[in-house]
Structures are given as C-alpha cells and as structure tokens.
C-alpha cells in the first residue's frame, strides 16, 4: 500500500515574515488531526531553517527545491544535499521543469544530483514531464520515459525515491491533462522506473482544491506536487484532505 504524499513547492516566493507565517499556518492546520497522507513543504533556501522550526512537533516534512551534485567545495551560490539534511530537510525536488529550462539542467546532471541526495539520506523527488509541443506531436510517453531513464539515480529504491510527473504546459496555467491521460503516463512511469510497485508517483500541474480529489483517486497517482495552491495554507490543506 503506497501512502500518498502531498508536497508544496513554494518556488521563489516568500520573504521571511510571509514564509514563517505560511509554514506556521500549515503547521497549525496539521496539528489536531490524524493524516491519511504524508505532507511536505519545500520553501526557498532562505526560509528552510524557519520552516523546520515552524513545523517542529508536527508530522510535516520540509524539503529543498534543488541541491548541488557535490557535497561541498568551490561552487559559489550552490547548496549541497548534506547542508539540506543538516537543516532537517528530508526531501529535495530535483529536475523541476523550471530548473531544466532556466538552468539548462540535463537528465545526466539531475541523476547525479539525485545520487548526491541519496548519499545524504534525502529522498529525491525527480521531476519529469513533456512540453506542449511534445504532447501535440504524440511524443509524451517517449519523452517522459527518456527523462526517467536519464534522471533516476543508480541504487534508488521505491522507499527512497519519489517521481513527479509534471506536464510543463500544465504548470501554473490552470490546464491539466484529462484523467485518462494522467493515469496513462503514471502507469507507464511505474512500469519503466524499475523501482517496482511501491514507488510513489506524484502528479503536478495546476492541482487545486477543485480537481485534487479526482486526480488523487487515480490508481497510479500517489500524491501531488503543488505550486501555486501551496502558497495558501487553506488551499494546500484542502488538497491534503482530498486524499482518499
Ligand atoms: C509546480 O511548479 O511544481 C507546479 C505543479 O505548479 P502549479 O501547481 O502552480 O501548476
């Protein structure tokens, strides 16, 4: 039985006061209840320590949005996986389409970063997803399978790796694939990942309270990676409570 994971990707949002308030609001919502799913927030680096403090004593986990492939050294501006783990992070998002686009990150680099995450006892959330042009040309399954093959770490297991399917054209646009299209890609990812039935595969791309329930009910959807809707504690919580 795969326990669902609801992960908030705050991206480059939040000054100190906003970030502390958002983490505290999510922590407050989490406190009195038993949860059917795992819950994760991924603030920007500058807010991580405050987020770790704000959620202390709750079941909410904290993760980074990227890490370097090396553990330390002359890499100005970068942050390593052991640094994230040292702060109390348990996960790290890797290969998000915004990093693939903004920083030209290839699959091979994402794979090396995922291996660095594993070595630091972090769970990498490896993101894959097709562009609109790739979907329109009928290449979705081929593109996603290729990214998967190139980006998944060596030595990963179903318990220590999470995969996120995020169609690039669905991120921040309010558009989503049909439920059948999401299920088709997730089923293929499970088959092709080599990680077995237990691997968790999140859907990301305009997930919100109004569509979370139907997406999270799909047999191969094991949670969500939430961007915009994770910046409002009530919306994020409504998605978490939509887990079947
Ligand atoms: C994301 O960027 O990971 C994401 C899914 O964003 P949004 O929910 O805003 O589409």
User: How far apart are the CA of 9 and the centre of ligand 1, in A?
Assistant: 7
136, 151, 166: which is the final residue of a domain? 151
Which two three-digit tokens encode residue 24? 């505290």
Query: Among the atoms of ligand 1, which is closest to the Cα of residue 93?
Result: 3
In this structure, is residue 175 part of a structural domain? Answer: no
Is 96 assigned a catalytic role? yes
CA distance 54 to 117: 23
* pLDDT at res. 31: 82
Nearest in space to 158 (alpha carbons), one of 216, 128, 118: 118
87 and 53 in a common domain: no
Residues 75 and 119 in one domain: yes
Residue 189 is assigned to a structural domain of this protein: no
Residue closest by Cα to atom 2 of ligand 1: 227
CATH code assigned at 113: 3.20.20.70
* H and E: helices and strands count for the chain: 10, 8
Residue nearest atom 1 of ligand 1, based on CA coordinates = 227
The whole-number pLDDT of residue 180 equals 98
Verify that 54 and 117 share a domain, yes or no.
no
Question: Does residue 18 share a domain with residue 67?
Answer: no
**Is residue 33 classed as helix, strand or coil in its secondary structure?**
coil
Ligand 1 atom index nearest CA of 229: 8
Active site residue 166: yes
Residue 103 lies in a domain: yes
Say how many CA atoms lie within 13 Å of 87 toward its Cβ. 27
Whether residue 204 has its Cβ less than 6 Å from ligand 1: yes
Rounded distance from Cα 74 to ligand 1 centre (Å) = 32
Does residue 41 form part of some domain? no
Name the nearest CA neighbour of 167 among 178, 152, 156.
178
The residue from 96, 105, 130, 186 that is catalytic is 96
**Which residue has the least CA distance to atom 6 on ligand 1?**
227
First to last CA, the chain: 13
Of 117, 151, 185, which one is at a domain's C-terminal end? 151
Which residue among 118, 133, 151 closes a domain?
151
Ligand 1 proximity of 172 Cβ (cutoff 6 Å) = yes
Q: What is the pLDDT of residue 86?
A: 98
Q: Does one domain contain both 71 and 144?
A: yes
Confidence at residue 7, expressed as pLDDT on a 0 to 100 scale: 98
- Domain residues for the domain of 15 are 9-35+48-60
Q: Which of 163, 204, 230, 232 to mutate to test the pocket of ligand 1 (most atoms within 8 A of CB)?
A: 204
User: How many folded domains does the chain comprise?
Assistant: 2
| 166 touches ligand 1 (CB under 6 Å) | yes
Residue 232: per-residue pLDDT: 98
Q: Establish if 225 belongs to a structural domain.
A: no
Query: In whole angstroms, what is the distance from residue 185 CA to residue 166 CA?
Result: 10
Ligand 1 center to residue 215 CA distance, Å? 14
The tokens for 71 are 């553990």
Is the minimum distance from the CB of 207 to ligand 1 under 6 angstroms? Answer: yes
pTM as predicted? 0.98
53 and 83 together in one domain: no
Per-residue pLDDT tens, the chain, 244 aa: give them.
899 999 999 999 999 999 999 999 999 998 877 788 999 999 999 999 999 999 999 999 999 999 999 999 999 999 999 999 999 999 999 999 999 999 999 999 999 999 999 999 999 999 999 999 999 999 999 999 999 999 999 999 999 999 999 999 999 999 999 999 999 999 999 999 999 999 999 999 999 999 999 999 999 999 999 999 999 999 999 999 999 8
DSSP three-state, residue 205: coil
Kindly state whether residue 194 falls inside one of the protein's structural domains: no
The Å distance, Cα 172 to ligand 1 centre, comes to: 5
| CA neighbor of 207 nearest in space, from 2, 9, 31, 22 | 9
């Amino acid at each position: 039985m795969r326990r669902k994971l609801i992960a908030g990707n705050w991206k480059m949002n939040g000054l100190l006061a906003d970030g502390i308030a958002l983490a505290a609001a999510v922590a407050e919502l989490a406190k009195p209840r038993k949860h059917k799913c795992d819950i994760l927030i991924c603030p920007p680096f500058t807010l991580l320590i405050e987020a770790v403090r704000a959620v202390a004593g709750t079941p909410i986990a904290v993760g980074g949005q990227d890490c370097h492939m090396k553990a330390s050294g002359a890499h100005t501006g970068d942050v390593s996986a052991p640094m994230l783990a040292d702060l109390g992070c348990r996960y790290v998002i890797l290969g998000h389409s915004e990093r693939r686009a903004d920083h030209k990150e290839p699959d091979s680099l994402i794979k090396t970063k995922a291996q660095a995450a594993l070595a630091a006892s972090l769970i990498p959330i490896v993101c894959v997803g097709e562009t609109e042009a790739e979907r329109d040309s009928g290449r979705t399954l081929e593109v996603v399978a290729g990214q998967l093959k190139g980006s998944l770490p060596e030595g990963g297991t179903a318990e220590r790796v999470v995969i996120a399917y995020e169609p690039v054209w669905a991120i921040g646009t309010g558009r989503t694939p049909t439920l059948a299209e999401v299920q088709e890609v997730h089923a293929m990812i499970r088959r092709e990942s080599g990680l077995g039935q237990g691997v968790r595969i999140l859907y990301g791309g305009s997930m919100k309270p109004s569509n979370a329930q139907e997406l999270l009910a799909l047999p191969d959807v094991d949670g969500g990676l939430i961007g915009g809707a994770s910046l409002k504690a009530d919306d994020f919580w409504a998605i978490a409570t939509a887990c079947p």
